[in-house]
Homo-oligomer: A and B are copies of this chain.
Amino acid sequence: MGTEQDADAAIAPARRRGRPAKSASIADDTRSSIVAAAATEFARDGYDSTSMRGIARAAAVDPALVRHYFTSKADLFAEAIAAPMRPDRMVKRALAGPRDQVGVNLVRYLVETLDQPGASDRVIRMLHTALGQEFAARMLRQFIIREVLKRIAKELGEKDSELRASFAATQVVGLVVARYGIRIEPLASASPDEVVNRIGPVVQWHLMGNPLP
């Protein structure tokens, strides 16, 4: 499972993570062939039905080697789609604080990450692909449900938590698309604080029903 350092490194180039210090071109090749096999397997079978073991088989390497490079299926998936932002880690971090601050913490982390120069480009590219190709949409959907929504639901423990989490996702996805993709003004130029103050409480309300300010 990921560490806090992983979360901080979420926007660092993904291909450097997990590479052994004494990497040689053979190790690079092995790693690349695992990622390539993963991309093929995910695309064909979707996120849920793809296993680390199946990817190892497709890449013709030992499963232990896959686990040497990637700590989880989510890790490998993120690399396969070259995602710079890790919603699963974002959620983990937000859930680490007080329950009534989940929305604000999540939005602050998101905005601080994506406001950095160039950071939002790949996220927008990923959303662009997901809106254009069904297999990409399916992968992203399954990843979000499995690694984000179910995790939140489990943590919050309420009956309709998954439904709540999926509605919270609409506000988060919409913020990303409108601020960083279409860049609607004055939202796109609004300060991080302004965004956190106006979006954070909504995410919190969606998740837990806390009253808005």
**Residues on A close to B: CB < 8 A?**
124-125, 127-128, 130-132, 137, 140-141, 144-145, 149, 162-163, 166-167, 169-175, 177-179, 181-188, 190, 194, 198-199, 202, 205-206, 211-212
Which chain B residues border A205 with CB–CB below 8 Å?
A: 202, 212
Task: Determine whether the beta carbon of B182 is less than 8 Å from that of A178.
Answer: no
Task: Determine whether the beta carbon of B127 is less than 8 Å from that of A184.
Answer: no
Task: Determine whether the beta carbon of B211 is less than 8 Å from that of A181.
Answer: no
A179 vs chain B, min Cβ distance (A): 7
Report the bound CA distance from A184 to B162 in whole Å.
Answer: 11
Nearest B-chain residue to A149, judged by Cβ: B184
Report the bound CA distance from A183 to B137 in whole Å.
Answer: 8
Report the bound CA distance from A166 to B199 in whole Å.
Answer: 12
Task: Determine whether the beta carbon of A162 is less than 8 Å from that of B186.
Answer: yes
Task: Determine whether the beta carbon of A184 is less than 8 Å from that of B145.
Answer: yes
Task: Report the 10 A-B pairs with minimum CB-CB distance, sorted nearest first.
Answer: A174-B174, A166-B187, A128-B131, A170-B174, A170-B178, A173-B174, A128-B132, A170-B175, A131-B181, A163-B186
Nearest B-chain residue to A140, judged by Cβ: B182
Which chain B residues border A162 with CB–CB below 8 Å?
A: 186
Task: Determine whether the beta carbon of A187 is less than 8 Å from that of B174.
Answer: no
Cβ-defined partner of A182 (8 Å) among B125, B137, B198, B212:
B137
Nearest B-chain residue to A176, judged by Cβ: B174
Nearest B-chain residue to A134, judged by Cβ: B183
